Amino acid sequence: MRIHFVLFASLFVCCTNAVLAQLPENLAAVFKYQRVAIPKYQTDSTFVVRNVWAERIVFTGADSFKISAYVTRPSEYRENRPFVLFNHWGEGDKSEFLQQAMLLSSRGFVCILIDGPWLCPDSPIKSFKDQGFEMYRQYVMNARSAIDLAQQHFKVNDDKIFCVGHSFGCNTAAILSGVDKRIDYFVFMAGVYSTTKNATQSQVPDFVKWRTDSPEQFKAWVTKMQPLDAENYLPFKTAPCLIQIASKDEYLSDAENDAFIRLMPVPKEVKVYDAGHGLNAVAESDRVEWILGQVR
């Protein structure tokens, strides 16, 4: 069973102050970014399914960081196609959304699916405990570089740029909603409004053990990570979005989900699914249909 809420743009006036306010400089400075001239990417492998061309690639983005990714696109090259950037969850990799990307590319989209920084070649970022700040920041920077790649090499439609993020990828998408206004639409999947509050309250055994065994290290981690909490960026989102919530989420409470929704300015659409944190096939279908609906 699903609950479906739609908040229409006519409610926009309720959030005028949040939408028009400027992102604080101390937050904007963390993600200060100059668009990167992306050199020709390296292709590891290629496969074609019907009219869709898919490549597994590596390209160099901001901070000279090597980024591994999939690119899917219609086999017939044409400029001005819509573009979707996919950010996967922490338990997975770039292949999480590959099936959805192939489907969207069969309908005319260019898609880029990046790996999290900890999965990229030669990456020095491996530990969420020791490098959580660097992990989040680099994911955001890599996502921005992926948009550069799409604009420069595939000449995508600048008015039809989508970002889809799940869990960890959703939290980076939340940051992007405040710092990169090139993105015209968002899909937020099972995201947390505050990583630090979640880690502080979570009963997941790994977090409980960390807080118990290394309280000072955990406290220092929280202090460093607080500027990257999604709640700092969501009020500055201006793009339309779809929010997908799991009613049986193993990691997020109802209160956390409610806070995520409440912080999000309109226009927004919210759907709740009878599913765990990974969501389900109904959510996948709704996600694809929502994206297609924005370009019809």
Secondary structure (H, E, C), the chain: CCEEEEECHHHHHHHHHHHHCCCCHHHHHHCCCCCCCCCCCEEEEEEEECCEEEEEEEEECHHHCEEEEEEEEECCCCCCCCEEEEECCCCCCHHHHHHHHHHHHHCCCEEEEECCHHHCCCCCCCCHHHHHHHHHHHHHHHHHHHHHHHHHHCCCCCCCEEEEEECHHHHHHHHHHHHCCCCCEEEEECCCCCHHHHHHHCCCHHHHHHHHHCHHHHHHHHHHHHHHCHHHCHHHCCCCEEEEEECCCCCCCHHHHHHHHHHCCCCEEEEEECCCCCCCHHHHHHHHHHHHHCCC
Residue 8's pLDDT band, with cuts at 50, 70 and 90, is very low
pLDDT at 287: 98
pLDDT at 2: 39
Are the CB atoms for 283 and 273 separated by under 8 Å? Answer: yes
- Average pLDDT on 278-296 reads 98
pTM: 0.92
- Average pLDDT on 40-44 reads 92
pLDDT at 111: 98
Please determine, for residue 9, whether its predicted confidence score (pLDDT) is greater than 70.
no
pLDDT at 39: 77
- Residue 121, preceding bond cis, omega within 30 degrees? no
pLDDT at 36: 76
Please determine, for residue 68, whether its predicted confidence score (pLDDT) is greater than 50.
yes
Please determine, for residue 12, whether its predicted confidence score (pLDDT) is greater than 80.
no
- Average pLDDT on 68-75 reads 97
- Average pLDDT on 37-63 reads 93
- What average pLDDT is seen over the chain? 92
In the chain, % of residues over pLDDT 70: 93
Please determine, for residue 283, whether its predicted confidence score (pLDDT) is greater than 50.
yes
Please determine, for residue 140, whether its predicted confidence score (pLDDT) is greater than 50.
yes
pLDDT digits (tens, 9 = 90+) for 227-269: 999 999 999 999 999 999 999 999 999 999 999 999 999 999 9
- Average pLDDT on 130-143 reads 97
pLDDT digits (tens, 9 = 90+) for 148-174: 999 999 999 999 999 999 999 999 999
Determine if residue 155 is left, alpha or beta; phi over 0 gives left, psi from -120 to 50 gives alpha, anything else beta: left
Please determine, for residue 7, whether its predicted confidence score (pLDDT) is greater than 70.
no
- Average pLDDT on 9-25 reads 51
